[in-house]
Structure 1
Amino acid sequence: MLYAATTPEGKRRAFRDRLASGELLRMPGAFNPLSARLIERKGFDGVYISGAVLSADLGLPDIGLTTLTEVAGRARQIARTTELPALVDADTGFGEPMNVARTVQEMEDAGVAGLHLEDQVNPKRCGHLDGKEVVDEGTALRRIRAAVDARRDPNLLIMARTDIRGVEGLEPAISRAKALADAGADALFPEAMATLREFEAVRSAVDVPILANMTEFGKSELFSVDPLRDVGVNIVIWPVSLLRLAMGAAERGLDTLNAEGSLTSELGSMQHRADLYDLLDYRGYDRFDSDVFNFEVRKD
């Protein structure tokens, strides 16, 4: 009922323990708190909170227009709804090292298990667009050092994302990944890798967990979980997938309304009211107030 029973500190410890085990963790992107609860219900290992999704939710492109307050607020809403650890996209940290430090503490207070910071020039671009620019190595390392120094819970995962593969190629990406790990990053997010061999090359170069971004319509081929596990990937995210599925369904529904005047033909593809109420745990609230849930919803 209400929010998760597990504390943020407990989620962070569990997240760290599972990463240390070497298993691959599957973390679909949640576009709102309800979808985070569904991700948990379906047996996934964690929830990813995408900057691109948060931007789109506000009707904005993913070009660095969202603010720390907006992202931290949405992260809090999502993270508190699920027992799973949440990993949030913190873009470039919303400024320079002192801003990065504040970002880390705001995200920590929001209850996430980890966040990632990237090495793009601020304002950034979506990682799978052309025309990206990355900062020099010194600036990238200062961001990570500031993040590590600012956290109060040592189990908060500080992940470094590097976008240099799409700008300068694989070898500079490997070199940057090594430097970011040496600067204190707990995990690495090598963005826009083109092949499994590239993921494997980064994995071989560093001693910290790595993440694979399986976003649709991007630079990376859409590998399934098993090949990624085989080359040593530790976390896989599908950041925008649920939003894309939901928006695709919404568009089809609106087209049906235009064409048929009702949604009767779409009922079979909708989540039933009974399933929604179950996901929201209406019955749990009945323990406190019998007037809240004093009815039955039939599924036939």
Structure 2
Amino acid sequence: MADASLKQKIDSGQFIAAPGVFDMMSLLMVEKIGFDAVYASGYWNVASDQGIPDAGLATYTDFVNRFAKMVKKSSAPVIADADTGFGGLINLAHTVRGYEEAGISAMQIEDQEFPKKCGHTPHRIVIPIEDMVNKIKVAIDTRASDDFLIIARTDARTGYGFDEAMRRMDAYAEAGADILFFESPESPEEMASFCSAIDKPCVANMSNGGRTPMLSVDELKQVGYAMAIYPAMAPLVMLEAIEKSYRTLKSEGVCETENIPMYEFKQFCSDIGFDQIHAFEKKWGATTNAPNNYARFA
């Protein structure tokens, strides 16, 4: 079930900075550093898992199975993308039950038509406001615990304007959403106007390369946000490093240079859990017949 600590921290006024996790290794690094929550992005998990765009092509099963694995490995509450709920109201109810049973602590649903698109790309179409209100009501009615939070997102700003997006945020707050998500505001002034007008916790999407200005945590607090998610930072940093290293291998024929920072292999073996494997084998004598050169990995 949901981790109650996320709701408790938000209710107490603690700001939540949730870095994006897009695979199990990125989650491992978040665990090592320590955060109050993590965000499982649909865009980046679909890209990592299937190598396809965030355009409504992945299924509920793809999402919930992948995120359930993250929940098992995360000591912090997991906030997870659920696109449009993967269909109509009955599909949404099924999604709510599945996400909550997987141990996810907050589920984000958006008001786009299916198939949806990434919130920082053009040509997004939103459903009638009444349809999204019903989705929110169904989600709240379906969940087993109030600790499982419903995040309602509108994608209306880019194609329909600020006022329409705010009209939707007001309606979604009235429908009972726990957290409000105004996707892709285009200025700090819009961000401040949103937060000041909504009497519920608001989340900022700090997506590198997107339409929204990138503010620091202190600036976001001052604006009035309760939470920020950072879905793109880690994968973009990783992709830059990978491309640079592959190009160096292609052009220079070497895989190690001073210009390419590289994580220590021995440290990663420890991070991933080989210390526990070695301790188990030492206790139970599992390596008695191992080759002599096995010790160099210890």
Same fold (TM over 0.5): yes
Q: Which residue of 1 aligns with 2:9?
A: 18
CA distance in 2, matches of 1:287, 1:17: 37
Q: Cα 1:197–1:272, aligned 2, differ >3 Å: closer, same or farther? A: same
Q: Which residue of 2 aligns with 1:3?
A: none
Larger mean Cα displacement after TM superposition, 168-177 or 227-236: 168-177
Question: Aligned-pair distance for 1:116?
Answer: 0.4
> Are positions 1:39 and 2:18 aligned together?
no
Which entry has the higher C-alpha Rg, 1 or 2?
A: 2
Structure 1 contact 273–297 (Cα < 8 Å) conserved: no
Structure 2 counterpart of 1:194, from 159, 175, 186: 186
Question: Aligned-pair distance for 1:175?
Answer: 1.6
Letter in 1 for 2:274: Y
What is the total number of aligned residue pairs between the two structures?
289
Q: Cα 1:269–1:205, aligned 2, differ >3 Å: closer, same or farther? A: same
When normalised by structure 1's length, the TM-score is 0.91
CA distance in 1, matches of 2:270, 2:250: 31
Letter in 1 for 2:11: A
Paired residue secondary structure (1:265): coil
> Are positions 1:274 and 2:266 aligned together?
yes
Question: Aligned-pair distance for 1:295?
Answer: 4.6
Q: Cα 1:251–1:148, aligned 2, differ >3 Å: closer, same or farther? A: same
CA distance in 2, matches of 1:102, 1:129: 28
CA distance in 2, matches of 1:288, 1:264: 33
Structure 2 contact 241–260 (Cα < 8 Å) conserved: no
- Structure 2: runs of 5+ lacking an equivalent: 288-293
Structure 2 counterpart of 1:149, from 117, 138, 141: 141
> Are positions 1:203 and 2:214 aligned together?
no
* 1:194-233 to 2 correspondences below 5 Å: 194-233=186-225
CA distance in 1, matches of 2:58, 2:140: 23
Structure 2 contact 244–260 (Cα < 8 Å) conserved: no
Q: Which residue of 2 aligns with 1:61?
A: 53
Structure 2 counterpart of 1:28, from 13, 19, 25: 19
Structure 1 contact 256–262 (Cα < 8 Å) conserved: yes
Structure 2 counterpart of 1:90, from 82, 85, 90: 82
Q: Which residue of 1 aligns with 2:109?
A: 117
Q: Cα 1:266–1:50, aligned 2, differ >3 Å: closer, same or farther? A: farther
Question: Aligned-pair distance for 1:297?
Answer: 5.6
- Structure 1: runs of 5+ lacking an equivalent: 1-7
Q: Which residue of 2 aligns with 1:263?
A: 255
CA distance in 2, matches of 1:266, 1:288: 37
Question: Aligned-pair distance for 1:283?
Answer: 2.3
Letter in 2 for 1:53: W
> Are positions 1:77 and 2:69 aligned together?
yes
CA distance in 2, matches of 1:264, 1:193: 42
Q: Cα 1:295–1:154, aligned 2, differ >3 Å: closer, same or farther? A: farther
Letter in 2 for 1:29: G
CA distance in 1, matches of 2:177, 2:278: 45
Paired residue secondary structure (2:281): coil
Q: Which residue of 1 aligns with 2:290?
A: none
* 1:243-262 to 2 correspondences below 5 Å: 243-262=235-254
1:69-119: CA deviation from partner (whole Å, max 9, x where unpaired): 000011011121110111111000000111000011111122211110000
Letter in 1 for 2:109: L
CA distance in 2, matches of 1:149, 1:214: 30
Letter in 1 for 2:20: G
CA distance in 1, matches of 2:177, 2:6: 16
CA distance in 1, matches of 2:11, 2:28: 25
Question: Aligned-pair distance for 1:150?
Answer: 1.3
Paired residue secondary structure (2:180): strand
Q: Cα 1:257–1:149, aligned 2, differ >3 Å: closer, same or farther? A: same
Stretches of 4+ moved more than 6 A in 1?
none
Q: Which residue of 2 aligns with 1:289?
A: 281
Structure 1 contact 141–183 (Cα < 8 Å) conserved: yes
- Percent identity between the two aligned chains: 33
1:7-46: CA deviation from partner (whole Å, max 9, x where unpaired): x44xx21011111121211111111122112113223221
